[in-house]
């Protein structure tokens, strides 16, 4: 769906007021029918209204994926479907790590501090060697 920009961004006219941008979309017949049907279903009379709503929805989806959120559709019966949209997936963080809270005891924290501040070992310990073999 290539778009041909006639004017880029909001331009200022000679009297200082902002003018709206215009563009022309070069759509395949099936895409044109889809837009017309959606406009009718949503009771939208203009392409501008349709595009404004579509931009709001797409902008929200971009924001959600950038935060690592999944976009989910849930039926009345509780069945869930996750939206997978390749362009949005490129925006999602590479890894969304689970977040957990560990309730450390004073003794565990002291042990961790001791391990973290200990000198680096020259050789792996026997315990580590056994753990890696398993």
Helix (H) / strand (E) element for 126: namely: helix 126-133
CB atoms within 10 A of CB 36: 12
pTM value is 0.55
Span 123-132, pLDDT tens digits: 778 887 888 8
Span 29-82, pLDDT tens digits: 999 999 999 999 999 999 999 999 999 999 999 999 999 899 999 999 999 999
CA 92 – CA 82 distance, rounded (Å): 14
Each domain of the chain, given as residue ranges in start order, spans 26-95
């Amino acid at each position: 769906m290539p778009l041909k920009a006639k004017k880029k961004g909001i331009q200022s006219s000679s009297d200082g007021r902002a003018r709206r941008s215009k563009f022309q979309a070069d759509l395949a017949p099936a895409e044109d029918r889809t837009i017309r049907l959606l406009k009718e279903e949503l009771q939208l009379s203009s392409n501008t209204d349709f595009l404004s709503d579509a931009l709001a929805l797409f902008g929200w989806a971009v924001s959600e994926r950038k935060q690592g959120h999944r976009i989910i559709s849930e039926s009345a019966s509780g069945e869930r479907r996750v939206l997978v949209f390749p362009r949005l997936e490129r925006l999602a963080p590479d890894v969304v790590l689970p977040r957990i809270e560990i309730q450390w005891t004073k003794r565990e924290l002291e042990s961790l501090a001791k391990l973290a501040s200990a000198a680096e070992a020259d050789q792996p310990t026997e315990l580590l060697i056994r753990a890696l073999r398993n």
